[in-house]
Amino acid sequence: MQIVFGPEHIGPHLTGDTGSYEWWYFDFIDNASEYSAVIIFLTGNPFSPEYNIGVDNHNRNPSVKAPNPFDFSAISVNLYLKQRLVYRTLFEFGEESYSVFQDENSMRITIDNSSITYDKSSRNWSIDINYNSERYADKLRAEFIFKPLTDHGGSIMMDNKESEYKHFWMPASPVCDVTAKIVSYKNQRRKKIELSGFGYADHNWGAEPMFKGIDDWYWGRVISDDHCLIFYYVKYEKPSLEKFSSLFLFEKNKLVYQSNDFPFEVKNSRNYWMLSYGGTIKGKAGELIIKCISEKLVDNGPFYIRSLADFDVEYKGKSIFRKHEGFSEYISPKRLKSKFLKNFVNLRIKRIS
């Protein structure tokens, strides 16, 4: 895993290499701490069993045709009310539904009739979700505006150590003001919600399969009026000596603490899929102490956990987060190519074209 920054990395990097993947991730929690949402646009959908098993089969036998990552473009939308799932969908599309537009003013990624647009002047993200599937009796209209409050620019020090793995992370907009308008239709019922709160946006991509080299993938973030903390912890398969162990703390939207070698301790829990994940993640370095407890699971699958986690953080002897709610996630990349789990994961994916 490598951290990258710069406006040149906002746009797509996917070249069509076998097993490559990319996603643009957005989340927010509303000001009343009631509603929260996660929206992801993906190409080379790394959570698609069809894609990962196809890649694994090709890697084992090059005479088997490799899947085209652009044929696995996807939109994931998840809306929660406290810990309860209100709305979830993961639509997957073929290459003909994916397009990119860029000029000197903006960048737009379109999948089917939905898009994300980045304004290069204001640095705002506009997300337009628009789909209506008669096949799945599913219809959603939603608009999100993410306005970045941080301008970390060159303040974050990149870890320039060479990595044998080709995975990249860009924490594009760690703290955002977010407004949302959501209209959902289920069982001939229309529901409209207007929300505002703090949000987060990042960009991940890889020039090789996510399951190559990585055993465990932990990430989390928490935001308040005064502070934002983000961590990203990757454990590689043995016998690799590499590790990726990064943490950032912002105060009043300015970076005040960074570590590219934070000493995380993970206490695992298990779900009913027998997936071992970071139920408690903690660490202490210098004047910073953190604890992230993931008990309120909002996505609980065979390879993936998402939690509305409780964060406790002390910095310079002062408690800056106390049981403050944020997001945490865990991925077990090796399970992404499991033929046994394939049918269970496919239950969530709605293939459109």
In this predicted model, what pLDDT tens digit does every residue of 74-106 receive, in sequence order? 999 999 999 899 888 899 999 999 999 999 999
Give me the phi and psi of 7, to 5 degrees please: -60, -25
pLDDT at 343: 80
Q: Which residue has the higher pLDDT, 180 or 334?
A: 180
Give me the phi and psi of 56, to 5 degrees please: -65, -40
Residues 6+ apart with CB under 8 A from 135: 350, 352
Query: Cα–Cα distance between 172 and 153 in angstroms, integer?
Result: 10
In contact, 31 and 139? CB cutoff 8 Å = no
Q: What angle do CA 76, 77, 80 make, to 5 degrees?
A: 140
Confidence at 242, pLDDT banded by 50, 70, 90: confident
Structural domains of the chain, ranges and CATH numbers in brackets: 2-351 (2.40.370.10)
Q: Is 226 helix (H, G, I), strand (E, B) or coil?
A: coil
pLDDT at 253: 84
Q: Which residues pair with 186 in a beta bridge?
A: 189
Give me the phi and psi of 6, to 5 degrees please: 115, 145
Averaged pLDDT for residues 283-311: 96
Secondary structure element (H or E) that encloses residue 342, with its range: helix 342-346
Amino acid occupying residue 96: E
Q: Is 341 helix (H, G, I), strand (E, B) or coil?
A: coil
In contact, 315 and 257? CB cutoff 8 Å = yes
12-21: pLDDT as tens digits: 998 788 899 9
**Other CB atoms closer than 10 Å to residue 263's CB: what's the count?**
11
**Other CB atoms closer than 10 Å to residue 174's CB: what's the count?**
23
In this structure, of 22-36, 126-140, 169-183, 315-329, the range with the lowest mean pLDDT score is 126-140
Confidence at 155, pLDDT banded by 50, 70, 90: low
pLDDT at 16: 80
Q: Which residue has the higher pLDDT, 343 or 321?
A: 321
253-282: pLDDT as tens digits: 889 999 999 999 999 999 999 999 999 999
Query: Cα–Cα distance between 88 and 338 in angstroms, integer?
Result: 23
Dihedral in degrees, nearest 10, Cα atoms 100, 103, 108, 110:
-30
* Cα 162 to Cα 2, 243, 264, distances in angstroms: 8, 12, 22
Tell me the H-state helices in 171-240.
Answer: none
**Other CB atoms closer than 10 Å to residue 213's CB: what's the count?**
20
